[in-house]
Amino acid sequence: MVLKRAEWPHQDEYAIAVASKVAPYGAYVKLPEFSDKEGFIHISEVSSTWVRNIRNHIHENQRVVIKVLQVDIQKRHIDCSLRRVSTEARRAKNNEWKRAQKAEKLLELIAKENDLTLEKVYEKIGWPMEDAFGEIYKGLELASDVGLDALEHVESTKKLKKQIADLAKVRIEIPSIEIEGEMKILVPGPEGVEVIKKALSEGLTLGQSMEKSTVEIYTLGSPRYKLRIQSPDYQEGEEVLSGILGKVTKIVEGKGGSFEFDRK
């Protein structure tokens, strides 16, 4: 179970659904984020191609990502679509679901430690963390990395914030991203080698100035050079990459050379 603050989903929202009954004309699903409210996927919304056998696309107990088309609260009816969910939207929603599940497991431990219901813990610190960070798990990652200070602006008691921060330190592993690519650098003339050395050296220095990321640049045999970046933060990793490529390109092309980068 993963709790949502809203009782009902909104139109155009992506949600997790579990098929409860599959019929020739469509599939009935339960939405676990919304207290297992029932939704319906008409056969016309199952696939963008002709559906010969609906069970080739969805079957009982299968978990899927759906897009909410319409919500009728009075009739307690939710129209859903499978075919309007892109690959990227499916990936993003599944990732959000997994992170929310991990966050809830920690909140369950806090509930047990304080003899509270899970709903009460969400109210006391879960939703305030969502308000502060946009997502509970993001707050847990920051608490794991920085400690109690990361929760300074969360509107909750100091006791609960300390308990959450201590648990996050033990239970939350900060993900590390790795960016790799191959640079091809050509600079004509007798000064070409020195220009390339200067460009790579300054690019490396720029990368190493970042607090949390590590950067490696080494030759694969002229004119090919390997660039590897490791960072605990996706945004910082991309910023490091952009900065290094910008620096190297400026120096190389400023001396009449050419620069290419092939990201792996």
Q: Does residue 202 lie in a domain region?
A: yes
Residue 2 lies in a domain: no
| Residue 189 Rama label (left phi>0; alpha psi -120 to 50; beta) | left
Mean per-residue pLDDT pooled into runs of 10, the chain (264 residues):
88 97 96 95 95 94 97 95 94 93 96 95 96 93 90 95 95 83 93 93 87 87 91 82 94 94 89
Number of domains comprising the chain: 3
Out of 113, 144, 171, a domain closes at 171
Q: In this structure, is residue 3 part of a structural domain?
A: no
Burial class (CB in 10 A: 0-12, 13-18, 19+), 12: exposed
Three-class DSSP labels, 84-118: CCCHHHHHHHHHHHHHHHHHHHHHHHHHHHCCCCH
pLDDT at 246: 94
Number of other residues whose CB lies within 10 A of the CB of residue 122: 23
Specify if 200 maps to a domain. yes
| Dihedral (Cα; 127, 129, 133, 138), 10-degree rounding | -110
The answer to whether 7 and 13 have CB atoms below 8 angstroms apart is no
Task: Compute the distance between CA of residue 41 and CA of residue 64 in angstroms, rounded to an integer.
Answer: 11
Is 60 a domain residue? yes
Distance (Å, whole) CA 75 – CA 46: 22
Boundary-marking domain end, from 136, 171, 206 = 171
Neighbour tally for 134: CB within 10 Å: 9
What CATH number is attached to the domain comprising 51? 2.40.50.140
Query: What φ, ψ does residue 73 adopt, rounded to 5°?
Result: -65, -40
In a domain, 109, yes or no: yes
Q: Can you give the pLDDT at residue 264?
A: 81
Look at residue 159 in the predicted model and tell me its pLDDT.
Answer: 95
Residue 148: what pLDDT? 93
Q: What pLDDT was estimated at residue 4?
A: 87
Give the domain range for residue 125: 88-171
Q: Beta strand pairing status for 37-42 and 77-81? A: parallel
CATH number of the domain within which 117 lies: 1.10.150.190
Q: Is residue 32 part of a domain?
A: yes
Instruction: List CB contacts of 121: < 8 A, sequence separation 6 or more.
Output: 107, 108, 110, 111, 114, 160
State how far the Cα of 228 lies from the Cα of 241, in Å rounded to an integer.
Answer: 9
